Every structure is written in C-alpha cells, then in structure tokens.
Structure 1
Amino acid sequence: MSPQARGAHRARASHRAAATLLALAMLLQVGLAGGYISGDYESLEMHDMNAGVLMVAALLTFGTAIWLRRAGGPVRPIATSVALLVALVLQMFLGMERIVAVHVTLGVLIACAITVLVMRAWMMSLPAGPRTATEAGREPETVS
C-alpha cells in the first residue's frame, strides 16, 4: 500500500472514530435531557456539561473531515461538520435562554444529522488513486 493510500485510510479511520464519538455524546445528551424531563433535575447540569463535550467532538469531527478531504476523500463531511457546529452553537444559546420548544426541535434535527454523518462515515469508500494536484486545489507543477 502506498504512503498516500495509508494516509487516506488513517484519515478515514480517524473520521469514523470522531463521528462515532460525536454520536455517543449525542446519545448521552438525549438521555440526560430525558432524565431532566422525567424529574431528575441533576440531569440538567450534566446535560449542560455534555454540551461542551458535544462541541469538542464536533470540532474533532470537523478536523478529521478536513484531513480526510486532503487525503482524497469527499468534501461533504466538511460541509456537514460546519453545519453541525453552527447548529450546536445555536442549540447551546437556545438552551441557555430556556427557549425549550425550539431547543428540543433543533436537538432532534441535530441527532438526525449526526446519525447521517456517522452512517456516511462508515459507508464511505476512498478513491482508487491519489487526487491530482488540480483536484486537490493546487496548481500543477510545471517542468521547464
């Protein structure tokens, strides 16, 4: 296996791991929200702390999406990660301001988006060969 292929496989494995971590943090967040709604008021503080974990996991997923793209992978994980980061910032604001109806609705949409992100990360195949310099966004080198 070429060094480029090894790098692409490492990038894909890292992206899968980060996306899976993000999904696990999201599932914990849903459980903590359910605990609070059921009357366990201590769950709200843990829900608040886990929001930070979710943000870190989303940033990690974004970073691995960039690495994956540079290794020849698709651009879609970057776009999805950026959209998730924006949604998570809005979600944190809505939660802090106690705008619960919109907070819960956006939370469901975020959970759906994370599920799709993880599904795509695990189903992703890599291109057969390395991308050309033009495809990578660089000018091809000219030989004089």
Structure 2
Amino acid sequence: MDSWIINVLVVVATFISMEAVAWLTHKYLMHGFFWFLHDDHHKKDHPGFFERNDFFFLIFAIPGIICLALGTIYGVSLALYIGIGITTYGAAYFFIHDIFIHQRFKVLRNTENRYLKALRRAHKMHHKHVNKDPGECFGMLWVPLKYFKS
C-alpha cells in the first residue's frame, strides 16, 4: 500500500478516535475534576465573550502541537499525521461547537439539514443540565438516533 494512503488512513482514524477522546474527557474530566473550568459554559449569564471553558482549547491543543512538532522537527512521520488528525478534529470542533451550535459568531444560523438539526438538539439536551450531574450527549459529532426524530 502506498505511504500516502497509509498517511491519509492515519489522519482519518485519528480524527474518528478523537470523538471518543472528546466524549470521555467531556464526561469524566470536564464534568468531573475540571468542572470549575467547564461550569460557566453551562450558564447563560457569564460575562464577556470568553469563558473559563475556553482553556480546554489550549489543553486539547497540546497533544496535537507535540505530534506536529515531532513530525516536522524530528521527522517522525506517524506523529505528524496523528497531529494532523488531532488538529483537524480541533478545527471541526471549533466550527461545529463554537460557531454552529453556540453561535459565538452569528453565522450558519438556519439549516434544514437533518444531521445538523439533530446535532443541535442533542447539544441542547446536554446544556439542559446546568450542574455537572446528570448529563447526556457528551460527544460532538456522534448523535444518538433519538435526536433525528422530531
């Protein structure tokens, strides 16, 4: 198999795996030990544009940066493509979560796309809970089937 195909597969596999990482860290860390950073994200009245929750952007960027550095500086190609997958997922997370769902920038407001509407419904159910427990819908891209019905 050509090396470029393997590299693409590594990027895609990493991107898909990041959904599981996001779900686990959201459920067990953000709604656990790091609730003090995440709680303002569940409140509508936090002051200003930024939230304490935005620190997670930096925390989650570190593994991607390390992998990209290992790949570009030290020539570890597997790390480079893992870093690309992590970084691509981070960009998708920003666009889907911050721009599309939470409307931090007022674009992409209206959609008739069934998947995107289900994604918004699932996230709305997540934010229905203002405390760290109970919770539901901790992922970003995977949407339970029940949210496609309405």
| Category of TM-score, reference length = shorter chain | 0.3 to 0.5
With structure 1 as the length reference, what TM-score do the two structures score?
0.38
Larger radius of gyration: 1
Structure with the higher helix share, 1 or 2:
1
With structure 2 as the length reference, what TM-score do the two structures score?
0.37
